[in-house]
Structure 1
Amino acid sequence: MPEEQLSDVRRVERKRIVLEVENAIKTRVGGKVTRLEHSVLKSAYPRRPYTEGWRVPVVFTDGQIRDVDVLVSAAFPNVPPRAALVDRPAYLTWPHIEHDGILCLLNNLSEVDPDDPVSVAINILGRAVQLVEELIDGAIVDRDFKEEFLTYWFYGASDAAKDVVTLFEPVSPSRGVFQYKHDGITYVGDDVDQLATWISNRFGQKEAARCRHRAARAAFIWLKEPPCRPSTPKLGRMSWP
């Protein structure tokens, strides 16, 4: 079969699969499903490759109706659908929800059956509803924020504060330290001498002289357990002796 004809066959087959998925979702939730227009997909998920999607209203156990989007890309059914929570709290109030509402339901090593796309899509929708129910209940919120603290801390950090090199061993106690920023990286040491010596070895004496003049006070804070979002502070005030 010529390549052009084969491509046409694949397009027809994919349209059939997408329609089957849509009908299955409607059957599962009672028909109250909206097919998302291309403009809506691009507006809601501008950095995502989704080509089709369905908005599904779900009544959760707290009595609220929240919309859940089921989304597929051009690679579907070889690549599984994703689900997003449209009606959600502010970013990082709940774990497992990305900045645009996409829910983290499968790990990177998960495998799905491309020959059974309807079951896969329904399973993703079911997982999405279950996760949101668990988030509403709240039992997993603090636990999962703590278990994946470094990931969520990185997500919530300012881009200007993500690259940090610590020149001392990060152990207790909490104490005052010094920081110096060079080429977008913040270097932190117990004192100015430690900072300047390291900077001199890495960047030369001129930069070390700047470090001695411009190093700023900072705080190294040792906590018994990681704080939870959204209580993680963004700003702090320190009293320096």
Structure 2
Amino acid sequence: MEKLVPLTKIILTLATAVWSLTLQTPSALAVLCVVELLILLMARRLFNSLKAIFLLVVFAVMLGLIEYAGGTPVECYVSAFRMLALTIIFIYLLGTVRLQDLTATMVQQLKVPYEYAFMFTAGLRFIPDFLEENRMVTEAQACRGMVVKGSFIQKCRRYMNIVRPLMLRSLERSETMALSLELRGFGGKGRTFVDSVAMHGSDYLVVILTCAATAAVFYARIKYGI
């Protein structure tokens, strides 16, 4: 599962999202969650993602409790398992696909213009950096005695002491990236990629099995109301 090309993983992720939206019973959605965990295990990403999975479970429980307040226990379980089924598979996609391979797949196989593919993957690339900078700025301001307390207006004003440095750092990073891209000839014609993202036999097999599983899910939903 780890060595599949990005396009196969994207198809599998989208198909799993469709399954989670199609299935309507807690037992079926629970089985789907177990299947996704097995996919993570086969891709050797399960134990590295335990913290993220735990946070998703906590959020799913909270979502289920909110649903239970205005619905039935069955709706509570369905909401919680569906949220897990929709999100766990993305850990597999983002944890096993390199961003440069994802860009190559979007450009070569999905025919997305390179500029749009680059913007998408660059956004994913800088999310961890932005979160780390947010943590550093928050800790630095806390060392200076900043305490976020008081009314909503006071909290907003004090949060500006965190937002302003983050904006300046983001602008500085954007200027550095723009200069680097310009020096490297960004936007030129005849772009090539180092690694091949062409599909192989195992990829075609997974795609066929995914299509068959999708058809089976739709059949079970229509025939048995699962």
What TM-score does the superposition give when structure 2 sets the normalisation length? 0.29
Task: Kindly indicate which of the two structures has a greater share of residues assigned to helix.
Answer: 2
Taking CA–CA contacts closer than 8 Å with sequence separation of 6 or more, which of the two structures ends up with the larger relative contact order? 2
Task: Kindly indicate which of the two structures has a greater share of residues assigned to strand.
Answer: 1
Q: Which has the larger radius of gyration?
A: 1
